[in-house]
Amino acid sequence: MKTNPGRFFEDYTLGETIRHAVPRTLSGGERALYHALYPARGALYSSDEFARSSGLPAAPMDDLIAFHTVFGKTVPDISLNAVANLGYAEGRWLAPVWPGDTLRSESAVIGLKENSNGKTGVVWVRTRGLNQRGEAVLEYVRWVMVKKNRATPAPEAVVPKLQAVVPPEALVIPQGLDFSGYDFALAGERHRWGDYTPGEKIDHVDGVTVEEAEHMLATRLWQNTAKVHFDATMREDGRRLIYGGHVISLARALSFNGLANAQMIVALNAGAHANPCFAGDTVKAWSEVLDRAETAAPGVGAVRLRLVAVKQGAAPFALKDEAGKYLPEVLLDLDYWALMPL
């Protein structure tokens, strides 16, 4: 067979490392498309001059451009036959990605567990994104439920122990980053690190209605080939599923209104795509401040945030019901660390 049917659960081996095709050189084109597809307005990623005033040589590529690019490479090998993308953990941005960098991805299989129905299993992988010099720029763990294709004996179950939160001392601050001369007026908001209190919730007010064409363009941009995003015959309801990363970027961009100074994502503690999103849904977002931490970089603090994306009909700050199950209007629950001026 010349074509690639994708991997099924029985095709994974604990401890193997998968080198994903195809390397991708990023440029200002990806940045322009990203800012067109999402209402992204972060000053550090929008302006070379703002980035230089913050100690960087120029504006790096948006943190989520790096994430989507690295993630997209893994799809043909990890989630082409996935039933669901179940979660994320231990994500860290390790170095800025600059225009002209070439990224590739590799994933190590760190856990396997067949489900009791014998038809699916869960695969845990630790993925790294590397640049043209072989330097890791991003790493994260994700786990997916994958179909079985053959009746094979269940492997010994291995479920990795993962950190619930990336500790502040493990956060990687870009070399040279300095917010001591931060221009709050140009950044678009006056609120700084000390203005955010753990337990505080922020309604980001604005919303974006998801368009089929925009989603398909975005998913192609990241070279994500999962069939459910493009082929309407893959689901019984005849609808194309919106790529979960598309919802992440929409929610992150919407959070600018209230968190404009949360400039750089540096860690992904946890994440769940709580319910499916489809074209026509209107995405809104709210955040909860979970923690704060100081860093060694001048003028730079870290804030841990919960970002929740919801769709039309959601009650204010909707999340879970009394049984602890996500409400049907909740699309995304993301826990991350971001850098913010003191």
What is 59-111 written as a DSSP string? PPPPHHHHHHHHHHHHHHHHTTTEEEEEEEEEEEE-S---TT-EEEEEEEEEE
Give the per-residue pLDDT at 231.
87
Give the per-residue pLDDT at 84.
84
Give the per-residue pLDDT at 226.
86
Per-block mean pLDDT, blocks of 10 residues, the chain (342 long)? 90 97 96 93 97 98 98 94 90 98 98 94 97 98 93 90 98 98 97 98 97 91 88 89 94 98 98 96 98 98 98 97 97 98 98
pTM greater than 0.85: yes
Q: What does the domain layout of the chain look like in residue ranges?
A: 1-26+61-148, 169-342
Q: Which fold has domain 169-342?
A: Thiol Ester Dehydrase; Chain A (3.10.129)
Q: Which fold has domain 1-26+61-148?
A: Thiol Ester Dehydrase; Chain A (3.10.129)
Residue 11 neighbours by CB under 8 Å, 6+ apart: none
pLDDT digit string, tens, across residues 13-68:
999 999 999 999 999 999 999 999 998 999 999 999 999 999 999 999 999 999 99
Is the fold of 1-26+61-148 the same as that of 169-342? yes
